[in-house]
């Protein structure tokens, strides 16, 4: 019983077995009753024929009495034997129950007794020649016929009783089957169909992301257990879905915040890399906006300066006071939205120190205060690391630019000093010696004609010094007014072609952005100095400037068809070749001056550009 209460399958199986058993029992009973009724019709027919046979025997006896003879006697004998055979036939005996107290059995014995004791003796007596007693024979005949009629009626009633029993049994089994089917249908409706409908509704609601529906099934069968499991699963799914929605919303907000932070970093990088030395103007707005977006602050930037033993605070957000280094008291970048010290150093605050470094060189420290109850997410830490890297890159580039500017300034001063020493200083020294010579001649009373020669040398020296000064001023004031070296060189060749009134060819084949501005200036100055020498000394009718890049070197050629050089040394009081060689040495290259085979002079400059040198050194540094 407990199994039937706990298992819907067991109840349905038991119901099917009950219906099957009742069907089998009904079939077995029907077959039994049908088998027991087999032969009843034959028995009724046989019993009915006994009545006709009785009349035939009596009629045969009457005919035999009127016309005795062997034929009549044989007819009576044959009819009597037929009656006996029919009375003892298996059809009739088999249809009579074997129970001794059964009415059919008693009626059969009565007919058999009446035949054996009353009618059969008279038949035998009539056959043997005795006279037939008509009155007695009729009385016996009526009694036997009545008994046969009662036997036939009892046989019919017995058969009808079997049929009625069969009908009753069929009705009973039909009713039982209907009751079982009704119980099964009720059980299926309430314990199978209704729970399945609720489960389908639960599945449909879950498919629409509604996890609030519950089946609330009672009982202990399979569907009730499945319903409770689905209810628990729906509740867990509701909790999981709500948690996932919350996480997705949180991740979405975090992603939007990260995107806004990246936009702030991107916008800040433009002002940071182009802000020069003013970190207050370039970095302070970015740090303030980033701290406000991420809920951080204050943020402090300290730099490690080579001349200082401790980190120097450079910038701070949400500060109550100005930094000690502050140079502009009209700036309020650090004083916007100040925060009290108890918030900054309170029990719920914590500090994150990030090194602002490039490689192994630590340029400074970024100090970040935050609420330790909320903590710092991984994305926030990555953004802060990107901020520190960006600040480090900007500071590193700023220092490198300052160092490069300092080195360029020192190089340019060295070149100016050397050129002044090699040209104008020596001319002035020569003039000073001539002035001293003139003073001695005047003190000794040397004739005026002799002094005139010294005065001519002084005048020539002054003109040469003035010319050298103008050349130096022209060189020092030279700048690239047009974009790119190619345009500047084309303009230069056109200028000297107009000045010399000759054809100056120009051939330029150099990849873009190969030279830095310092290299372009030196190349332009060397070309101008070579063309100036051609204009002054070569007496040329043709010149060419060729600049190309081959074999990882920049090759510059300035040629003319002039008178050429007697030697590769500079003429007295002319320092153009010396200056060109100094510039070639500054570029890390070589300058060759030689006469052409076809006449004229060739100035050849070969050097490796800084960009090409860096490309050549990159694999070695990576290895």
Residue range 284-319, pLDDT digits in tens: 778 888 888 888 878 888 888 766 667 777 777 776
Strands 349-358 and 553-560 come out as unpaired
> What is the C-alpha to C-alpha distance for residues 239 and 497, in angstroms, rounded to an integer?
87
Quick one: pLDDT band at residue 620, thresholds 50, 70, 90? very low
CATH topology of domain 2-196: 1.20.120
**pLDDT tops 90 at residue 548:** yes
Tokens of 393: 């890159």
Better-predicted residue by pLDDT, 8 or 483 = 8
**pLDDT tops 80 at residue 229:** yes
Quick one: pLDDT band at residue 274, thresholds 50, 70, 90? low
Residue pair 76/123 in contact by the 8 Å Cβ criterion: yes
Q: Averaged over 598-618, what is the pLDDT?
A: 78
Better-predicted residue by pLDDT, 342 or 131 = 131
Backbone angles phi, psi at 353, to 5 degrees: -105, 120
**pLDDT tops 90 at residue 152:** no
Q: Averaged over 583-604, what is the pLDDT?
A: 90
Q: What is the pLDDT of residue 511?
A: 86
Q: What is the pLDDT of residue 297?
A: 73
Q: Angle at CA 198, nearest 5°, toward 197 and 201?
A: 90
CATH topology of domain 480-623: Heat Shock Protein 90 (3.30.565)
> What is the C-alpha to C-alpha distance for residues 18 and 91, in angstroms, rounded to an integer?
39
Q: Averaged over 385-392, what is the pLDDT?
A: 84
Burial string for 285-295 (b: 16+ CB within 10 Å, else e) reads bbbbbbbeebe
In the chain, count H helices and then E strands. 20, 9
Q: Averaged over 413-427, what is the pLDDT?
A: 69
If you average pLDDT over every residue of the chain, what do you get? 78
**pLDDT tops 60 at residue 479:** no
Residue pair 107/115 in contact by the 8 Å Cβ criterion: no
pLDDT in tens, 333-359: 566 666 554 445 567 788 888 888 888
Q: What is the pLDDT of residue 572?
A: 46
Residue pair 227/220 in contact by the 8 Å Cβ criterion: no
Better-predicted residue by pLDDT, 405 or 391 = 391
Q: Averaged over 480-488, what is the pLDDT?
A: 71
Lowest-confidence segment of 95-104, 511-520, 525-534 by average pLDDT: 95-104
pLDDT in tens, 443-456: 887 788 777 887 88
Range picked from 239-253, 469-483, 608-622 for highest mean pLDDT: 239-253
Q: What is the pLDDT of residue 61?
A: 72
Range picked from 33-37, 233-237, 413-417, 445-449 for highest mean pLDDT: 233-237
Lowest-confidence segment of 125-134, 160-169, 293-302, 489-498 by average pLDDT: 125-134
Q: Averaged over 410-421, what is the pLDDT?
A: 70
Superfamily of domain 255-397: GAF domain (3.30.450.40)
As a whole number of Å, the end-to-end CA separation of the chain is 84
DSSP letters for 347-409: TTEEEEEEEEEETTEEEEEEEEEEETTT---HHHHHHHHHHHHHHHHHHHHHHHHHHHHHHHH
Q: What is the pLDDT of residue 321?
A: 66
Strand partners, 316: 300
Q: What is the pLDDT of residue 322?
A: 66
């Amino acid at each position: 019983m407990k199994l039937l209460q706990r298992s819907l399958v067991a109840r349905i199986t038991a119901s099917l077995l009950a219906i099957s058993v009742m069907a089998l029992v009904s079939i077995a009973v029907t077959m039994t009753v049908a088998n027991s009724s087999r032969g009843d019709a034959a028995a009724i027919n046989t019993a009915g024929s006994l009545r006709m046979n009785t009349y035939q025997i009596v009629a045969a006896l009457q005919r035999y009495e009127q016309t005795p003879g062997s034929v009549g006697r044989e007819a009576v004998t044959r009819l009597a034997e037929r009656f006996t055979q029919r009375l003892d036939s298996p059809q009739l005996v088999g249809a009579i129950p074997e129970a001794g107290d059964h009415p059919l059995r008693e009626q059969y014995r009565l007919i058999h007794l009446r035949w054996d004791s009353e009618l059969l003796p008279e038949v035998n007596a009539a056959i043997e020649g005795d006279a037939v007693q008509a009155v007695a024979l009729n009385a016996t005949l009526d009694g036997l016929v009545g008994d046969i009629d009662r036997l036939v009626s009892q046989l019919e009633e017995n058969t009808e009783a079997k049929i009625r029993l069969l009908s009753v049994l069929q009705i009973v089994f039909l009713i039982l089957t209907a009751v079982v089917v009704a119980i099964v249908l009720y059980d299926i409706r309430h314990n199978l169909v209704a729970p399945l409908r609720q489960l389908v509704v639960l599945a449909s609601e879950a498919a629409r992301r509604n996890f609030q529906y519950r089946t609330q099934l009672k009982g202990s069968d399979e569907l009730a257990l499945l319903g409770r499991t689905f209810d628990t699963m729906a509740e867990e799914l509701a909790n999981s879905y709500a948690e996932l929605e919350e996480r997705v919303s949180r991740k979405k907000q975090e992603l939007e915040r990260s995107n806004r932070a990246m936009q702030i970093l991107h916008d800040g990088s433009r002002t940071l890399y182009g802000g020069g030395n003013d970190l207050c103007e370039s970095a302070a707005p970015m740090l303030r906006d980033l701290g406000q977006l991420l809920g951080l602050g204050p943020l402090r930037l300290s730099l490690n300066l080579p001349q200082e033993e401790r980190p120097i605070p450079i910038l701070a957000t949400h500060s109550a006071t100005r930094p000690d280094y502050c140079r502009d008291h009209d700036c309020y970048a650090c004083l916007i939205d100040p925060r009290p010290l108890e918030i900054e150093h309170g029990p719920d605050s914590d500090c994150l120190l990030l090194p602002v470094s490039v490689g192994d060189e630590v340029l400074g420290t970024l100090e970040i205060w935050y609420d330790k109850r909320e903590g710092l997410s991984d994305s926030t830490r990555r953004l802060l690391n990107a901020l520190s890297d960006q600040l480090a890159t900007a500071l590193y580039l700023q220092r490198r630019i300052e160092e490069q500017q300092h080195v360029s300034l020192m190089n340019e001063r060295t070149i100016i000093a050397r050129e002044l020493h090699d040209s104008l200083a020596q001319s002035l020294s020569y003039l000073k010696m001539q002035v001293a010579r003139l003073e001695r001649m005047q003190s000794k009373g040397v004739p005026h004609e002799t002094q005139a020669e010294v005065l001519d040398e002084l005048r020539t020296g002054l003109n040469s010094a003035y010319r050298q000064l103008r050349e130096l001023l022209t060189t020092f004031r030279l700048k690239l007014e047009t974009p790119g070296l190619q345009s500047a060189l084309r303009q230069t060749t056109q200028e000297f072609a107009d000045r010399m009134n000759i054809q100056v060819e120009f051939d330029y084949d150099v990849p873009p952005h190969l030279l830095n501005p310092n290299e372009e200036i030196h190349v332009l100055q060397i070309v101008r100095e070579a063309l100036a020498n051609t204009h002054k000394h070569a007496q040329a009718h043709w010149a060419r400037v060729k600049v190309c890049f081959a074999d990882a070197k920049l090759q510059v050629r300035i040629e003319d068809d002039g008178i050429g050089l007697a030697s590769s040394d500079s003429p007295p009081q002319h320092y153009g070749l010396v200056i060109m060689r100094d510039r070639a040495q500054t570029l890390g290259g070589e300058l060759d001056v030689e006469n052409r085979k076809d006449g004229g002079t060739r100035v050849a400059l070969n050097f490796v550009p800084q960009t090409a040198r860096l490309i050549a050194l990159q694999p070695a540094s990576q290895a």
